[in-house]
Structure 1
């Protein structure tokens, strides 16, 4: 599974607004459909290698894209069959159907498949799951490869409802912009490899897939403090703080201090300090950021450590129980702290109960509420900023689903913050580093491998 990097993501409402803006600027919706259908035909031509194609057309504009693609493929000499669920119901789809001069079969149980099936039944506007009878028909369709137009039919394009697609796509062609379904589970599993077709829309890029971020080498004048001094505050489970400190060092921090009784230093290059020196170190003017939470249990000791870190005015990475400990002050002092929160699903639900919508919606609501950048972890990690920016990091790597890898990510976030990056940019860089490092290691990965050589 792959996703275009740094591509805009639009909800169905945002997509309709972008289409309306195109129409106002002189690019007609009919021309958009023609471009979309041509893009589908081009991709079907490439992946089908001239083999017969069956295009399934629905009643709306997604089906209209399918009729355009059928005409374009037939003009290239491809053997094309079209099967429709019902006649077109929109003016654009009717016009596209009228230009298709071939036969139209009924989409019915037991119908013959094809080497390549193009799913143009339902797009992002689907408001309910596909009926069970149609699902059975689609599941029984024989095909070597499935190409979905915009989203696989049956999924919720906005990623709110957990609907699944009867036809799991091998390739999905996103039209104009990615949709939340392409980057959020469970729908993302049904999309296969996602490609993006530029059809002339001007898309708001505040929401995007995770961009490619290449690590920058220190310049000739760099030294350990200019590369960022980071403090990792240890707790009752010193191994977690050691992983965070090691992650910070490997992610490029110039100077890492691990503070706490019984600190387990993973490398000789990391400075261990007794917990009593914590307050003094927070006052060090060279200190760029603090990581707190890995290995900490909730309680008065953590509350005191978090309060001291907030009082210091340093940039913060708050993980695990430290998120809830810090949240009341973050909310009261919204916008006064440069902070990154790194909750997994359970931690997010405890810190931000009652939020609804897609994972993107909930991450944005949490960022707005806290005034901090939120890395809502998982296979479909979402990074959200209080100003409305989003980066979606699907797909990551399943080998990160093991104990301690989140501690390493917290350390990497601290490394990026300590050298002066904005919280959102630091979070994106850390997540990209985390995924790339895990992908290089691959099967059998444990958290310790992430901080190894």
Structure 2
């Protein structure tokens, strides 16, 4: 078992990987069920277990878990929704020698293993299934979900009336719903268990970056010169510049606003023309004025790597974003809709479309952050601190991303590093922080990611 990470597969991709992995399907079920049993032993401490089995292969995993737990001397009961509908699940059911209780008549237990529905569910849970789940959840000390909590849409994070788990044991790889909201929260802690299925994927879980420490030969310009364009709401640019200054060797603020003494003040035109400029952030607090539109047009027409954020996202069209130079966009949901219209599919699908149409790497922000690039790569960030839902934290993220571009990272790697550093700084800041506090924790986050 290992922490949430690695490739992310949709339900169809996982089925294809299982069929092509070279391991018999009944052996994969045995491995999944044994992993469930091990989790119930580890987290249940020997307490009685109730295993809830559905009619599909997810239920088959549950029957295997019940058999293994009984063999280990644990008091275990099985409650079934319906008889098995697959040959694999029927075989697992036949190997279980105990009784099978009717789901809605079963009594609760301290430990519950939810193996009712897995990745195949695509419609809301019927009340006759959900009501017992709610009752068992309320009485249980600990609930373990097999692959996904029942009622979770595997590919898009839709909540079909799911009841939360304390632990979700993901078989083989992570699924989109483990990272997309609202279902990521319903999954509780997610652990990946290896059942012998390996498959490449263009979609991966965000991981800690490995950033190089400055060497003896480095100086402020080799560590990256970056600039932040200020506008009427100077505080937003100040936050971006402060964040960038912790990570870049030389930070310029173009315009008004308070900033640390180490941040240099220079005019926009002179800064944009400086050959040493490694990246520029434009958009935080940017209002719609003729002067700001001229600056934005000049930045877009340049060969300077750009991070386009906030106000600037409201002043551009997708066609204007097609640049030769590296570009990162940092939109939230409303900004995605304004730029690209209402897109279909999951947040992963929408992020990919936005990246394709803009030609830029997109940090699609929110309680579930998705990073997508035009080459089809997608990175999903695990849930971060909910205290990030406060004004100015997006400006801090944009400043971090600018510094990563200025260090010479490619757009997808820069965006991924920025999201990780931002989330790590938030976890260090604790509860009730404001965006200014977040900046003060960037050095510790950087230290954790530096080799």
Per the normalisation by structure 2, the TM-score is 0.94
419-428 or 278-287, which deviates more? 278-287
CA contact (8 A) 1:379 1:394 kept: no
CA contact (8 A) 2:104 2:128 kept: no
Structure 2 partner of 1:236: 232
- CA shift digits 1:303-343 (9 cap, x unpaired): 32122112221111000131243433445x36x23111001
Q: Find the partner of 1:145 among 128, 142, 146.
A: 142
Helix, strand or coil: the match of 1:289? Answer: strand
CA displacement at 1:298 relative to structure 2: 3.0
233-242 or 293-302, which deviates more? 293-302
Q: How does 1:125-164 map to 2 (within 5 A)?
A: 125-141=120-136, 142-164=139-161
CA displacement at 1:184 relative to structure 2: 0.8
* Residue 345 of structure 1 pairs with residue 333 of structure 2: yes
Q: Find the partner of 1:268 among 261, 268, 273.
A: 261
- CA shift digits 1:31-67 (9 cap, x unpaired): 1111111111111111111111110000000001111
* Residue 413 of structure 1 pairs with residue 401 of structure 2: yes
Q: How does 1:90-101 map to 2 (within 5 A)?
A: 90-101=86-97
Structure 2 partner of 1:316: 306
Structure 1 partner of 2:29: 33
Helix, strand or coil: the match of 2:62? Answer: helix
Q: Find the partner of 1:398 among 386, 389, 407.
A: 386
147-156 or 340-349, which deviates more? 340-349
- 2:219 and 2:201 map into 1 onto residues whose CA distance is 35
CA contact (8 A) 2:231 2:286 kept: yes
Helix, strand or coil: the match of 1:288? Answer: strand
Per the normalisation by structure 1, the TM-score is 0.93
Q: For this pair of structures, how many residues does the alignment match?
A: 438
Q: Unpaired segments of 5 or more residues in structure 2? A: 442-451
Q: Find the partner of 2:251 among 242, 249, 256.
A: 256
CA displacement at 1:416 relative to structure 2: 0.2
- 1:209 and 1:105 map into 2 onto residues whose CA distance is 39
Q: How does 1:141-290 map to 2 (within 5 A)?
A: 141=136, 142-166=139-163, 168-250=164-246, 252-260=247-255, 263-273=256-266, 277-290=267-280
Helix, strand or coil: the match of 1:55? Answer: strand
Q: Find the partner of 2:292 among 299, 302, 306.
A: 302
CA contact (8 A) 2:230 2:257 kept: no
Structure 1 partner of 2:99: 103
Structure 2 partner of 1:121: 116
CA contact (8 A) 1:53 1:114 kept: yes
CA displacement at 1:137 relative to structure 2: 1.8
CA contact (8 A) 1:258 1:265 kept: no
CA contact (8 A) 2:272 2:299 kept: yes
CA contact (8 A) 2:5 2:174 kept: no
Q: Unpaired segments of 5 or more residues in structure 1? A: none
288-297 or 321-330, which deviates more? 321-330
Helix, strand or coil: the match of 1:73? Answer: helix
CA contact (8 A) 2:115 2:146 kept: yes
- CA shift digits 1:88-135 (9 cap, x unpaired): 0011111111111111111114x2111110000000110211111221
CA contact (8 A) 1:376 1:383 kept: yes
- 2:79 and 2:35 map into 1 onto residues whose CA distance is 20
Structure 1 partner of 2:13: 14
- 1:5 and 1:321 map into 2 onto residues whose CA distance is 35
CA displacement at 1:214 relative to structure 2: 4.7
CA contact (8 A) 1:417 1:426 kept: yes
- 2:194 and 2:290 map into 1 onto residues whose CA distance is 54
- 1:382 and 1:63 map into 2 onto residues whose CA distance is 31
Q: Which portions of structure 1, spanning 4 or more consecutive aligned residues, are displaced by more than 4 angstroms?
A: none
- 2:129 and 2:343 map into 1 onto residues whose CA distance is 33
CA contact (8 A) 1:64 1:92 kept: yes
